[in-house]
A and B are shown apart, each in its own frame.
Chain A
Amino acid sequence: MSYLPYLLAVWIFLVGLFGIVRSRNFIHLVVCLSVTQSSTYVLLLSIGYVKGGTAPIFKDVKPGTKAVDPVVQALTLTDIVVSVTVAALLLSLAILGKHRAGTMDPEELHPMQG
């Protein structure tokens, strides 16, 4: 039972991969990619948890009380904001693909054409 957060990360990763493989629309594909990426945040934060620890903010709290690991939180924080920008770049690629080829279906777009 104590491995449940790690199993959640594995589950979300596999569900996202399944969505990418089965997808019929580029926008749906980008959202599934974003779900897959969020599984890494869950894994990182679950590793850093300390039982009985509090948040690593020490205003009005004596420094030295048991707190969870702050390094993994710092890694995850910047990653969340930047991943939205990358998803926007992928969506603009999908829009351009629609302009050129007329379809948003990955099955109908062949890599080499013309």
Chain B
Amino acid sequence: MNVIYVFSIVLAGAAALAVVLTTDLLRMAMLASFYTLTLVIFFLLLQAPDVALSELVVGTIAYPVVLVVAILIDRAE
């Protein structure tokens, strides 16, 4: 178990805690996308390029758009 495995695991755990504890919704959307990126690093270290590509694409394109538009609908009312 190298240093880099331990580092990426600690980073992913800290990002998950940060997503849950945030109160402002737009910041939470940004942090959710960042948490997805930390998971991508971990999946690459586990030698899974297909899964890392899938998670990267979803966490950058599909998930933030759906989330941010829902937050804007919530704010517009």
State the A residues within 8 Å of B (CB): 1-2, 4-5, 8, 11-12, 15-16, 18-19, 22, 25, 27-28, 31-32, 34-35, 38, 41-42, 45-46, 48-49, 53-55, 57, 67-68, 73, 76-77, 80-81, 84, 87-88, 91-92, 94-95, 98-99, 104
Q: How many residues of B contact A (CB 8 A)?
A: 37
Q: Contact at A12–B48, with CB atoms within 8 Å?
A: no
Q: Contact at A88–B66, with CB atoms within 8 Å?
A: yes
Chain A neighbourhood of B70, CB < 8 A: 27, 91-92, 94-95
Q: Contact at B48–A55, with CB atoms within 8 Å?
A: yes
Please report whether the interface of chain B is mostly helix, strand, loop or mixed according to DSSP: helix
Bound together, the chains give a CA A57 to CA B47 distance in angstroms of 10
Of B5, B51, B62, B67, the contact of A73 (CB 8 Å cutoff) = B51
Q: Contact at A1–B1, with CB atoms within 8 Å?
A: yes
Q: Contact at B32–A41, with CB atoms within 8 Å?
A: no
